[in-house]
Structures are given as C-alpha cells and as structure tokens.
Amino acid sequence: MIPDGGRPPPPCRRPGRSEFLWRLRPAGRPKNRNLEGRARGFRSEAEADERATGGGHVSGQVVRSAQRVDSRALRDAFASFATGVTVVTVGGPAAHGMTANSFASVSLSPPLLLVCVHSKAQMHGLLASGTAFGISVLAEHQRDLAAYFSNPGRPTGMAQFRCTATVPGSHTGVPLIAGALAHFECEVRNRYEAGDHTIVVGHVCSLYRSGGSPLLFVSGRYGHTGTH
C-alpha cells in the first residue's frame, strides 16, 4: 500500500474469504446446502429448493416462483454477474469509504451514475445527509483495498484512509483513492429507496481516467481480465 505522509500505515490486512462472504450467505444457513437438503430427506439441494419454493426444473436448473424467491439462490444468481469494484467515498469530518460493486453508468447527457447502498451501511446515512460523493474504480492490484473498505472493523473517519494515498476531488474535496483506474466526483442528484438498499444517483462534476486492468468481482471472488 502507498504510505500516507511518511507515517507507517496500519496494515491493510486482506480479510479471509469468510469475512466478506457473510454477505453472500444468510445467517443460520449451513455452507453446504446439499447436506441440508439430504438431511431433510431430499436427494439434492435442487429437490429441496423445488419443494420449498414450488418451482420446477428446466435443464437441471430450479425455476423458482416469483412469489417466494430463496434469498441464498438470489444472492448466488446476482453474484454470477461479473462486475468491477469501486470505493464510494464521502469527505468532511465524517469522511468514509465503502467498497461497492453496484456502481453503474446511467446517462451521458447529463452525466449521471448510480450506486446502491444498503440501508444498514454507515455510508447510507452519510449519503442521505450529504451532497457529494466520490467513486474510485479499483485497479487489479487494489484487491486489498476492496477487502479493507468492506471490512466493518476498519477505523472510522479520515483514519481509515491512512493505509492508502488519496487525492481530494477538485470540486468537492471528497477523498479519491490514488492509483484507481477512474475517479468520478459527484453531487447527489436523486435518491430512490428500493427494498433494503437506496439507489443514489450522482451528477458527475469531475472525472479522471488512467489506463490499466480493472479489479473484477464474480461469484464472491476477486479476479482480473489479464488483458489491456
């Protein structure tokens, strides 16, 4: 990691998979659902799911009823969509960063983007009251930062940025992660409550882009394209 101001940085420890995979596994469910299904007398996870949801099979895949979607299956299906990884940041006295892969481009004219933030995330309250935020698109070598900014045990305030260099946004001063592939500095344009997340739409007021390969995230694992 890039040290900040010559001070020895606290270790940007890479959490084990289990530290972030909690998001992908509902509490109280065993890791191996095949075992769970078999314990309940079903031949397979698919059969257990079919009985539970009233779904049917198509080419070995369980088709689930729209009325009762299994949350584990939903997370896994969502996770099969490969994304990049960003760190959303806000500045000021309650400066904060949070790893997010729900980032999406929305509009070229006007320039708009979105990110979805869980209602229980600290970032949620900060974006509800704040007017500006930044998005840093992580490069393939910044996997440790993705893990760090998703770790609930990280320090609060500006202290959490000690383990990486940041640059202040030219319009709003939001901290942006140095070495990222792209920076977007945004003013909050709209917020839409959507289930357990809020969709935050930002108006891009400045941007920066460098070359390089992006960090990817799919099926709960980090990866990279290996090209570029």
B/e letters for 130-165, b = 16+ CB within 10 Å, e = fewer, are bebbbbbbbbbebbbbbbbbbbeebeeebebbbbbb
Phi/psi-derived region of residue 173, left when phi > 0, alpha when psi is between -120 and 50, beta in every other case? left
Length of the chain: 228
- Give the interface segment with ligand FMN, choosing from 31-39, 41-49, 121-129, 179-187 (CB under 6 A): 121-129
Cβ of residue 227: shortest distance to ligand FMN, in angstroms? 21
Give the residue from 164, 83, 100, 88 showing the smallest Cα distance to 132: 88
Is 191 a residue that touches ligand FMN (CB under 6 A)?
no
According to CB under 6 A, which one of 79, 114, 127, 146 is a site residue for ligand FMN?
Answer: 146
Residue nearest to ligand FMN (CB): 102
- Give the interface segment with ligand FMN, choosing from 6-14, 26-34, 112-120, 137-145 (CB under 6 A): 112-120
According to CB under 6 A, which one of 79, 95, 114, 121 is a site residue for ligand FMN?
Answer: 121
Alpha carbons 203 and 19: distance in angstroms, whole number: 33
According to CB under 6 A, which one of 122, 191, 201, 223 is a site residue for ligand FMN?
Answer: 122
Is 85 a residue that touches ligand FMN (CB under 6 A)?
yes
Cβ of residue 114: shortest distance to ligand FMN, in angstroms? 10
Alpha carbons 89 and 149: distance in angstroms, whole number: 10
Is 215 a residue that touches ligand FMN (CB under 6 A)?
no
SS3 219: coil
Which CB sits closer to ligand FMN, 39 or 218? 218
The CA-atom distances, in angstroms, between 121 and each of 15, 41, 100, 125 are: 19, 39, 11, 7
**Contacts with ligand FMN, residue ranges (CB under 6 A):** 20, 23, 85, 98-102, 116-118, 121-123, 146, 150, 152, 217
